[in-house]
Structures are given as C-alpha cells and as structure tokens.
Amino acid sequence: MSQTLQATYAAKRKARRFAVQGIYEWQMSHNPVHEIEARTRVENAMHKVDLSYYHELLTEVVANHEALDALLIPVLDREVSALDGVELATLRLGAYELKEHLEIPYRVVLDEAIELAKHFGGADSHKYINGVLDRLATTLRAAEKQQSN
C-alpha cells in the first residue's frame, strides 16, 4: 500500500472516530451539529483528519438518523431505544457507510465499526456491532457479499 493511500486510510479512520463521538454527543444532548463540529475542531488536533469526510459523516448520519434506524430495525434483536449510546452511534455510522459509500468494501465498513466499538464501547459490543452490520450488509450489499463468500 502506498504511503498516500495509507495516509488517506488513516485520515478516514480518524474522521470516523471523531464522527462517532459527535453522533454520540448529539444523541445524548441534541446540541446543534454545527456546534458539536465547531467545538471538536477547536479542541482537537485535526490536521491528520479527513475533515470533509468527518463533516459528511457527522451531518448526514444525524440528518438521516430516522432512515438509518429504519434500516437497522429489521436486523436488531432489541428496540433502538434499548441500545447503548455508543453502539447506536456506531451502528448508525456503519449503516450510513454501507448505504452511501459503495466504493468502500462492506468488510472494511464492518472492520472499521468493530474497531470503533472496541475503542469506545463495552467489552463485547464489537461482536454485536459485527453481527448487526453483517446482517444489514446481506440486504444493502447482497451482490458484493455473495461474491466474497
């Protein structure tokens, strides 16, 4: 992998980390997204973050959370309201990437969500995140998933 590609990958990974934190904050506080984003940019070293991807993830996941929840509901084993806040933020972000970023292989979306859950979530939340997003990929990425099996 070239250094440029590695840097791009790392910048997107950092964007996801900040986005899931912002989504979580929005879920808990309902503060305006632009305020969450502005504060995050001021309080953190963001020079190695893909800022446009961070902005997209944060604003689009929050703006479309009801549609994303509707995608998740059929593959959940509990009510959305019963999910841990970190799990919900991570699942919403993963569902958004599965639906809107077809250029990112579904396995990469799952791997990134698992890493977010390991970093921010409870002890075994990564297993739950993996299972839910894998089931969601069966519908959103059926052809891609079938090819990889």
* pLDDT tens, per residue, the chain with 149 residues: 566 767 788 999 999 999 999 999 999 999 999 999 999 999 999 999 999 999 999 999 999 999 999 999 999 999 999 999 999 999 999 999 999 999 999 999 999 999 999 999 888 999 999 999 999 999 999 888 888 76
Half-sphere exposure of residue 142, counting CA atoms within 13 Å on the CB side? 1
Are 82 and 45 within 8 A, CB to CB? no
Q: Identify residue 69 by its one-letter amino acid code.
A: D
pLDDT of residue 130: 97
Alpha-carbon gap, residue 27 to 33, rounded angstroms: 10
Are 17 and 87 within 8 A, CB to CB? no
Q: What is the pTM of this model?
A: 0.94
Domain boundaries, the chain: 3-142
Query: Which CATH number is correct for 3-142, 1.10.940.10, 2.60.40.290, 1.10.1040.10, 3.20.20.70?
Result: 1.10.940.10
Q: Give, in order, the Cα–Cα distances in Å from 123 to each of 42, 128, 147.
A: 31, 10, 32
pLDDT of residue 143: 87
